[in-house]
């Protein structure tokens, strides 16, 4: 039997000087390597965030020094009908966009998760809109939804339905924008789902087939639980993206007709950069931030019930 | 040692950056001044090219002034300008959209040019009075002016056998001619050519002058009281709705919007409409498209012609040093001179504000119509919150013009919402 003994070390002395120096040097190097990111974080994220929190409690027109108004901007928000309408527009857009894009991305991923020739081409084709700018997408969308010359109305005419004013009708503008946003964004989410699908072990399907499980049951009991982590990620990302949506409406409708497609971030932009109300715009930004945070926390809380990390 | 070198290097970089950020200061030589000059134009636009040429001539004549140009397209220019002002980095002189001068001035960003303007012969320039605020102060010196007149397509008039517009035309005359000019040549039940373009997202060439011509008003009391909710304004919008609806001689709201952003201004140039209200800048696309066109005064309504004008202006930053402000004023007076103004007029982009240049450089057939309209013009309701209150109002008026909301309801709501915007800013201020 071997007995291991350890030499007693003086308690108060701490590590030897050389070890301390080495650790200090390592810390310095770590800090040096991390410093570009830390500088970026402090200068371009933390500082603007804190500044906007300060501005949200001021009357600030960008040109004269801000004057402190406490929660004045937030109480003004409560009675601002336009703000609430933009929030309603954003929620409506999210309700249409998030489930549609998620479901469609999953369907496409399943369809393209086959070992067939030319599949890579299809995957690339669905990904092309993701990397296109919104200006380009707006032109394409116009060729589809223009009430005079667009393909959508030509299709309706073929089946004997009346033409629609897709982007000029207050009732249709948000569903149309949601459809275009799905078309642009579905490719990215499809790639995430593809990765999720390919991570499910093939043996599970083989075992289920041997046990006589139907295609629906294999989807229900193997695929869906197997990609629940990816689904959760897609839902969180899409929800945040929707609440921050700006470029699309700015380019395609500028919030029209009559504000029917004015989303909250576009409203925020106008208040801050067109109407000289940076304090009020900052308050809108913070309310939006809190909403995104609450929504994300709720999603994280609910995920415990349905997300399985195998 | 290394740490010291690094610190020294950092200080050197900071010192250089500090020096660079003081670019608005003296340019090195005694008495020399560096002037940052901002204006909006697309890269490579004829306006961009000409402005650079004029700056070159100006600096050649004023060797002690070094000019640094800051150019960007319209939206980007003003977006950047606001943050530059916030950061104390605005150009010392810039070209402002006329409707924004009071917005900048009311927030203390502009130097008061009233005393400098007194030193020039006011009778030699157009638009000076339109730049005065409620207290008679001037914060911008005119660069070029825009005012709508009636554009008409001579060829379409001749084909339809309709007499060309005259200065005596009323809105009834306009409607009668427009009906005759509206043609559905392919028989699809929708006109291929409309007699008149009534609706435009830009109200300067649409409902604003029409409301005024019908005897209504948009803002009164030093542009602080919204006064559009009147029977006269309702009559004006009803006339427009009839034009786009039961009379059918103007493309409706949806049709116009569906042409896309900016395309509304090409409807006349492409022959889709035979008549349109247009500012001076609309002559360019019409000439490029080789349209045989003329211009006539706006038709008379019960309230007159409703002429309005926008005077784009040079403004000087309040943060400019006295030397820079002097240099900026030198630039302004140079640009306002007959020769630069005549060259600018050749672009066809704006009415020259130098009256001598306007008398010689504008086309003989169209020039007098624009100049008379400019002389008769009122401001476009400019005040410290122009962008915001006009957007609130335009949203409701456009609702009415699209048929989504009854005219009376839209005007009442629009008036209330626009007034709230104005009151929020001016609360507690007497003038």
Mean pLDDT across the stretch B256-264? 74
Tell me the CATH number at A248: 1.10.3720.10
Residue A37 lies in a domain: no
- Pick B404's closest partner by Cβ from A62, A258, A278: A258
What pLDDT, on a 0 to 100 scale, did the predictor assign at position A32?
93
Pairing of strands B65-72, A67-68: unpaired
| Cβ count near A19 (within 10 Å) | 10
**What is the predicted pLDDT for the residue at B242?**
97
Torsion of CA A180, A182, A185, A187, to 10 degrees: -120
pLDDT at B396: 95
Structural domain harbouring A195: 72-306
pLDDT of amino acid B88: 86
The answer to whether domain B2-145+310-375 and domain B149-306+385-426 are alike in fold is yes
Q: Which of B131-135, B287-291, B325-329 has the lowest mean pLDDT?
A: B131-135
Q: Do B258 and A165 touch (CB under 8 A)?
A: yes
pLDDT tens sequence across B292-308: 999 999 999 999 999 99
What is the total residue count of chain B?
A: 431
Classify residue A292: in a domain, yes or no. Answer: yes
The chain-wide mean pLDDT, for chain B, equals 89
- Strand-pairing partners, residue B18, are none
- B185 has a pLDDT exceeding 60: yes
pLDDT band at B30; cut points 50, 70, 90: low
Length of chain A counted residue by residue? 310
Query: Residues in chain B whose beta carbon is closer than 8 A to a beta carbon of chain A?
Result: 79, 82-83, 85-86, 103-104, 107-109, 253-255, 257-261, 385, 387-388, 391, 395-396, 398-399, 402, 404
Residue B141: closest CA among B151, B150, B130: B130
Distance from CA of A262 to the nearest CA of B (A): 12
**B104: chain A residues, CB-CB within 8 Å:** 63
Name the band, by pLDDT with cuts 50, 70 and 90, for residue B24.
very low
Segment B243-259 mean pLDDT: 89
How much is the pLDDT for A168?
87
* pLDDT interval class at B83 (50, 70, 90): confident
Q: What percent of chain A has pLDDT over 70?
A: 95
Q: Which of A25, A54, A168, A260 to mutate to test the interface with B (most CBs of B within 10 A)?
A: A168
Band (pLDDT 50/70/90 cuts) for residue B190 is confident
> Quick one: tokens of B85?
């002002």
So what's the pLDDT on residue A146?
A: 87
pLDDT above 90 as % of chain A:
70
In a domain, A83, yes or no: yes
Q: Pairing mode, if any, of strands B275-278 and B149-153?
A: antiparallel
Q: Quick one: pLDDT at residue A4? A: 47
Domains held by chain A: number = 1
pLDDT confidence of residue B429 = 63
Give the model's pLDDT for residue B407: 97
pLDDT class of A306 with cuts at 50, 70, 90: confident
Which residues of chain A lie closer than 8 angstroms to B260, CB-CB? 142, 146
> For A33-41, what is the mean pLDDT?
92
Residue keyed to tokens 């415990």:
A304
pLDDT greater than 70 at residue A310: no
Task: Render B286-353 in DSSP notation, one character per residue.
Answer: HHHTT--EEEEPPPBBTTB---B-EEEEEEEBTTS-HHHHHHHHHHHHHHTSHHHHHHHHHTTSSB-S
Question: What pLDDT digit, counting tens, does each position of A110-135 carry?
Answer: 998 887 788 888 888 888 899 999 98
> B9 pLDDT exceeds 70?
no
CB-CB neighbours of A92 under 10 Å = 16
The pLDDT tens digits of the residues spanning B404-416 come to 999 999 999 999 9
Does some domain include residue A31? no
Place domain B2-145+310-375 in its CATH homologous superfamily: Periplasmic binding protein-like II (3.40.190.10)
Delimit the domains of chain B by residue range: 2-145+310-375, 149-306+385-426
Q: Between these two residues, B42 and A5, which has the higher pLDDT value?
A: B42
ipTM reported for the complex surpasses 0.85? no
pLDDT at B133 over 90: no
Q: Coil, strand or helix: which one is A155?
A: helix
Give the HSE-up count for residue B178: Cα atoms under 13 Å, Cβ half-sphere: 30
pLDDT of residue B2: 45
Average pLDDT on A129-146 reads 90
For an interface test with A, the pick among B79, B86, B106 (most A C-beta atoms closer than 10 Å) comes out as: B86
- B337-383 tens-digit pLDDT: 999 999 998 888 899 999 999 999 899 999 999 999 999 999 999 99
| Average of per-residue pLDDT values in chain A | 90
pLDDT for the residue A143: 87
Of A146, A170, A273, which is closest to B258 when you measure between CB atoms?
A146
CATH superfamily of B149-306+385-426: Periplasmic binding protein-like II (3.40.190.10)
Q: Which of A51, A60, A63 to mutate to test the interface with B (most CBs of B within 10 A)?
A: A63
Give Dmax (Cα) for chain B: 92
Per-residue model confidence as pLDDT tens digits over A151-200: 999 999 999 999 888 998 899 999 999 999 999 999 999 999 999 999 99
Which residues in chain A have their CB less than 8 angstroms from residue B79's CB?
A: 273
């Amino acid at each position: 039997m071997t007995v291991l003994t350890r030499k007693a070390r003086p308690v108060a002395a701490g590590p030897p000087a050389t070890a301390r120096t080495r650790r200090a040097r390592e810390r310095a190097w770590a800090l040096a390597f991390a410093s570009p990111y830390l500088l970026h974080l402090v200068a371009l994220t933390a500082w603007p965030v804190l500044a906007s929190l300060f501005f949200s409690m001021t009357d600030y027109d960008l040109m004269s020094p801000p004057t402190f108004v406490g929660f004045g901007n937030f109480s003004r928000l409560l009675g601002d009908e336009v703000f609430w309408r933009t929030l309603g527009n954003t929620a409506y857009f999210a309700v249409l966009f998030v489930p549609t894009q998620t479901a469609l991305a999953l369907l496409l991923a399943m369809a393209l998760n086959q070992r067939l020739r030319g599949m890579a081409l299809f995957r690339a084709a669905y990904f092309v809109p993701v990397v296109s700018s919104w200006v380009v997408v707006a032109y394409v969308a116009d060729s589809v939804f223009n009430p005079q010359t667009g393909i959508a109305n030509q299709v309706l005419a073929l089946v004997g339905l009346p033409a629609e004013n897709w982007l000029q009708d207050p009732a249709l503008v948000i569903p149309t924008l949601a459809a275009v946003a799905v078309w642009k964004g579905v490719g990215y989410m499809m790639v995430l789902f593809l990765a999720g699908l390919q991570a499910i072990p093939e043996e599970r399907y083989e075992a289920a087939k041997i046990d006589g499980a139907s295609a629906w049951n294999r989807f229900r009991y193997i695929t869906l639980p197997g990609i629940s982590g990816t689904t959760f990620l897609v839902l969180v990302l899409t929800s945040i993206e929707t609440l921050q949506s700006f470029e699309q409406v700015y380019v395609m409708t500028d919030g029209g007709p009559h504000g029917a497609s004015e989303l909250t971030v576009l409203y925020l932009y106008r208040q801050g950069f067109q109407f000289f109300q940076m304090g009020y715009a900052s308050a809108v930004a913070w309310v939006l931030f809190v909403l995104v945070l609450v929504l994300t926390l709720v999603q994280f809380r609910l995920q415990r019930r349905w997300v399985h990390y195998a | 040692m290394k740490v010291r070198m690094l610190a020294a290097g950092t200080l050197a970089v900071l010192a250089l950056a500090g020096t660079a950020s003081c670019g608005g200061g003296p340019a090195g030589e005694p008495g020399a001044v560096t002037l940052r000059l901002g204006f909006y134009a697309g890269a490579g636009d004829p306006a961009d090219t000409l402005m650079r040429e004029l700056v070159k001539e100006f600096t050649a004549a004023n060797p002690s002034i070094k000019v640094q140009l800051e150019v960007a397209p319209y939206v980007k220019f003003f977006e950047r300008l606001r943050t530059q002002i916030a950061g104390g980095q605005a150009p010392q002189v810039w070209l402002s959209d006329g409707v924004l001068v009071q917005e900048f001035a009311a927030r203390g960003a502009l130097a008061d040019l009233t005393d400098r303007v007194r030193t020039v012969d006011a009778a030699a320039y157009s638009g000076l009075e339109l730049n005065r605020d409620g207290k008679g102060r001037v914060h911008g010196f005119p660069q070029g002016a825009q005012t709508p007149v009636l554009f008409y397509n001579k060829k379409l008039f001749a084909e339809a056998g309709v007499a060309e517009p005259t200065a005596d035309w009323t809105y009834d005359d306009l409607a009668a001619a427009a009906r005759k000019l509206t043609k559905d040549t392919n028989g699809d039940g929708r006109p291929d050519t409309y007699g008149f373009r009534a609706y435009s997202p830009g109200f300067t060439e649409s409902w604003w002058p029409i409301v005024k011509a019908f005897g209504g008003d948009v803002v009164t009391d030093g542009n602080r009281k919204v006064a559009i909710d009147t029977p006269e304004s309702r009559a004006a919008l009803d006339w427009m709705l009839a034009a786009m609806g039961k009379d059918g001689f103007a493309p409706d709201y949806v049709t116009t919007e569906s042409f896309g952003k900016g395309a509304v201004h090409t409807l006349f140039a492409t022959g889709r409409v035979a008549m349109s209200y247009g500012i001076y800048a609309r002559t360019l696309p019409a000439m490029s498209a080789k349209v045989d066109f003329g211009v006539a005064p706006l038709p008379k309504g019960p309230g007159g012609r409703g002429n309005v004008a926008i005077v784009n202006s040079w403004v000087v930053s309040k943060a400019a040093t006295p030397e820079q402000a002097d240099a900026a004023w030198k630039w302004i007076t140079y640009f306002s001179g007959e020769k630069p103004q005549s060259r600018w007029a050749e672009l066809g982009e704006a009415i020259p504000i130098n009256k001598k240049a306007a008398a010689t450089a504008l086309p003989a057939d169209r020039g007098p119509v624009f100049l008379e309209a400019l002389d008769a013009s009122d401001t476009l309701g400019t005040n410290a919150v122009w962008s915001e209150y006009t957007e609130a109002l335009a949203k409701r008026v456009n609702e009415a013009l699209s048929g989504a909301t009854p005219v009376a309801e839209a005007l009442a709501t629009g008036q209330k919402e626009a007034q709230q915007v104005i009151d929020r800013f001016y609360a507690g201020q007497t003038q």
